[in-house]
Chain A
Amino acid sequence: MRPETRALVLHLGVIAGLAALYPLLPTYHQGNLTRILVLAIYATGYNVLFGYTGLLSLGHAMFFGAGMYGLGLPMQHLGLPALPAFVLGTACAATLAAAVAALALRTAGVAFMIVTLMFSQAAFLTILYFTTWTRGEEGFVLARGARRIAGLDFSTPDVRFWTAFALFATALLLTLWMARSRFGHVLVAIRENEERTRMLGYDVQSHKFRAVVISGAFAGASGAAYGLFFGYVGATFASVQYSIFPLLWVLLGGAGTILGPLVGTAFMFYLINWAQDLTSAYMLVAGVVLVLLTLFARAGIVGEIRKRWLGWLP
């Protein structure tokens, strides 16, 4: 089998595996899997920018939040139906990403991290400032009756899972296709040697811009889906913690691998879950695991698998 075919079979296999796994799981883990898939869309988008393009953003929570509030506010205050609200939320995130990219991409390296962090803090404070509509830290609950598209009622766990599954599968296959396209190859080239890439005649700035917008749109879709599925919109999801999470998930799973974001998200989800049972300082456990991984498996879980055994993994 050619490596391309092998990779496609593997990724379709993972998708099929997720579908087969769901009915076998106990209810509690079914719910977890739904959350993991929604958040893995966020991680997958983050990976486009961090893993493939080599740009480290510390402000992705603003895109996740833009998706969530872009969906939630018009549903809550204007009675917008769920489907257009979902599209609007994703579009809000993509638009915000375009605006942030236009400014932040004038910087590079550490300055880019700081600028994205600052924009994200500004977005977070904006949510708190308009507490009248956003309900600030406390957030608001989306009415159960409004959370439906056509015949799908998102207060039902099974509907939630299968919709999350479809969204995640789309995100995964889109990134797989992207990674193999000319666009994806140029992103990797930028990550590996930006000046060389420019001097081969590639428009580095425009590729980076598109990477930020794609990444922001994925984050927004994930945020909108999270709000829609679980019926709650709150400022915590736009806080700095939610900018750090996708970075950790992608680092753990393997930056610049297609499956890494899913593996990292699932690993971290259950790690924190397990640590919460042990101690209230559960983030400490997450920290220790991260330190261990950077010491002994710097490429992340899937990255190490690729390095040691499966060199053809995209």
Chain B
Amino acid sequence: MTILSTDKLNRVFGSLTAVRDVSLSVDPGEVHALIGPNGAGKSTLVGMIAGRIPPTSGRVVFDGKDVTSLPAHRRMQMGMAYTFQITAIYARLTLFDNLALALDDRDPARVAAALDRVGLTERSDQLAGDLSYGHQRLLEIAMGVAQAPRLLILDEPTQGLAESEIAGFGDLVRSLRGTTTILLIEHNMNVVMELADRITVLETGEVLATGTPDQIRANLAVQDAYLGTTHA
């Protein structure tokens, strides 16, 4: 049983193969982390999964359906949600309006509940652009969560967050465990090891390893490529 799988996905930009033959499967309810050095193709891969980048070849199957040729908004309607690596909120609209658009519902109670998940309820009438960077990131995550997706794709959600905010983010992810499948791109290894059920390591566009946090930690090839620990 998988909720999402990719079958030999490739993406070529000119002479660069950003993603090569990536076959990945994500189980329902799991937190699946994608890690790898900069330029490993993580964002390109989730871009293809979400429909933002058309693959050069290969297939994406979501919820048992081949969605490879569907535009991004149709995939979101099917139950995906996506948060951007570079914060993408409605800076000139209020937090209320941001969440109302994510919910596709202007019911004040539902908007307040969605804001409450990231502790921003009191700022409902502020403009999103006036928030601190950390709060903007939390708002964007709240918008993803508010859609009640079956697959939530988080592209480097903790980038730029303070330690305390990262802890809050961890709590939020744990509260979704079991109901929402999460595909998480993350550089902070503490966050990954703590939250992920399974980890896929990408290097130069290819899958280097997939496994539980313990398996990945023990994997020598991964240590060489990414974790930077030297082994004697």
A residues whose Cβ falls under 8 Å from a Cβ of B:
182, 185-186, 188-189, 192-193, 195-204
Q: Judge whether B90 and A189 touch: CB under 8 Å.
A: yes
In the bound complex, residues from chain B placing their C-beta under 8 Å from that of A200 are 76, 81, 101-102, 104, 143, 147
Give chain B's interface residues, CB within 8 Å of chain A.
50, 52, 72-74, 76-77, 81-82, 84, 88-93, 97, 100-102, 104, 106, 143, 147
Indicate if the CB atoms of B100 and A192 lie closer than 8 Å: no
Are B89 and A196 neighbours in the complex by a CB distance under 8 Å? yes
Q: Bound complex: CA of A88 vs CA of B91, how far in Å?
A: 42
Contacts of A203 in B (CB 8 A): 73
Residue with the greatest number of chain B CB neighbours at <10 A, chosen from A185, A199, A202? A199
Q: How far is the CA of A182 from the CA of B97 in the complex (A)?
A: 12
Most buried by B among A185, A186, A192: A192
A selection of 21 A-B contacts at a CB cut-off of 8 Å is A185-B97, A185-B106, A186-B101, A188-B93, A189-B90, A192-B92, A193-B88, A193-B90, A196-B84, A198-B72, A198-B73, A198-B76, A199-B50, A199-B73, A199-B82, A200-B102, A200-B104, A201-B73, A201-B74, A201-B77, A204-B73
How far is the CB of B148 from the nearest CB of chain A, in Å?
12
Chain B residue nearest in CB terms to A188: B93
Q: Are A185 and B82 in contact (CB-based, < 8 A)?
A: no
User: Which of B81, B88, B93 is within 8 Å of A195, CB to CB?
Assistant: B88
Report Cα–Cα, A198/B93, bound state, in Å. Answer: 17
- Compute how far the CA of A202 lies from the CA of B74 in the bound complex, rounded to whole angstroms: 8
Please judge, given known A-B contacts A185-B101, A189-B101, whether A199 and B90 are in contact too, CB under 8 Å. no
Contact assessment for A196 and B90 in the assembled complex, using a CB-CB cutoff below 8 Å: yes
Most chain A CB within 10 A, of B52, B73, B100, B104, is at B73
Cβ contact within 8 Å between B147 and A201:
yes
* A201 engages B76 (CB within 8 Å): yes
Quote the shortest CB–CB distance from B181 to chain A (angstroms): 17
Q: A189-B93, A200-B143, A204-B73 are in contact. List 13 more A-B contacts (CB 8 A).
A: A182-B104, A185-B97, A185-B100, A189-B101, A192-B91, A193-B91, A196-B84, A196-B89, A198-B72, A199-B82, A199-B84, A200-B104, A203-B73
CB-defined contacts of A185 to chain B, threshold 8 Å:
97, 100-101, 106
Contact A202 B90 (CB under 8 A): no
- Cβ of A54 to closest chain B Cβ, rounded Å: 11
Please, which residues of chain A bring their CB within 8 A of the CB of B102?
200
* A residues in contact with B82, CB < 8 Å: 199
Q: Which of B52, B93, B104 contacts A199 (CB 8 A)?
A: B52
Neighbouring A residues of B104 by C-beta, 8 Å: 182, 200-201
A202 CA to B72 CA in the complex, in Å?
Answer: 9
Query: For residue A201, which residues in chain B have a CB less than 8 angstroms away from its CB?
Result: 73-74, 76-77, 104, 147
User: For residue B143, which residues in chain A have a CB less than 8 angstroms away from its CB?
Assistant: 200
Determine the distance from Cα of A25 to Cα of B76 in the docked complex, in whole angstroms: 56
List the A side residues contacting B97 at CB < 8 Å: 185
Minimum distance in angstroms from B67 CB to a CB of chain A: 13
Contacts of A192 in B (CB 8 A): 90-93
A206: nearest residue on chain B (CB-CB)? B73
In the complex, how many angstroms separate the beta carbon of B76 from the nearest chain A beta carbon? 3
Q: How far is the CB of B75 from chain A (nearest CB, A)?
A: 8
Which residues in A have their C-beta under 8 angstroms from that of B72?
198-199
Expressed in whole angstroms, the Cα–Cα distance for A188 and B52 within the complex equals 21
A188–B106 CA distance with the chains assembled, in angstroms? 15
B89 interface neighbour in A186, A193, A204, Cβ under 8 Å: A193
Chain B positions within 8 Å of A196 at CB level: 84, 88-90
Q: Complex Cα distance A193/B102, Å?
A: 13
- Give Cα A276–Cα B37 distance, bound, in whole angstroms: 67
Contacts of A188 in B (CB 8 A): 93
Q: Across the interface, which residues of B come within 8 angstroms of A197, CB to CB?
A: 101
**Closest CB-CB distance, B9 to chain A, in whole Å?**
19
The residue in chain A whose Cβ has the minimal distance to the Cβ of B153 is A199
Say how far A231's CB is from chain B's closest CB, in angstroms: 45
Q: Which residues of A contact B77 (CB under 8 A)?
A: 201
Residues on B with C-beta less than 8 A from A189 are 90, 93, 101
Chain B nearest CB from A141 CB (Å) reads: 48
CA–CA, A195 and B77, complex, Å: 15
Residue ID in chain A nearest B102 by CB atoms: A200
- Chain A residues near B74: list those with CB within 8 A: 201
Bound form: Cα–Cα A32–B122 in Å: 49
* CA of A199 to CA of B102, assembled, Å: 10
Bound CA–CA A232/B91 (angstroms): 47
User: In the assembled complex, which residues on chain A have CB atoms less than 8 Å from the CB atom of B84?
Assistant: 195-196, 199
B73 touches which of A182, A193, A202 (Cβ 8 Å): A202
User: Once the chains are docked, how many angstroms separate the CA of A201 from the CA of B74?
Assistant: 6
B17 to chain A, nearest CB (A): 25
B217: min CB distance to chain A, Å = 33
Residues in B with CB closer than 8 Å to A195 are: 84, 88
Interchain nearest-CB distance for B106 vs A (Å) = 8
Give Cα distance in the complex from A197 to B143, angstroms.
Answer: 11
Bound-complex Cα distance A172 to B65 (A):
45
Complex contacts, B106 vs chain A, CB 8 Å: 185
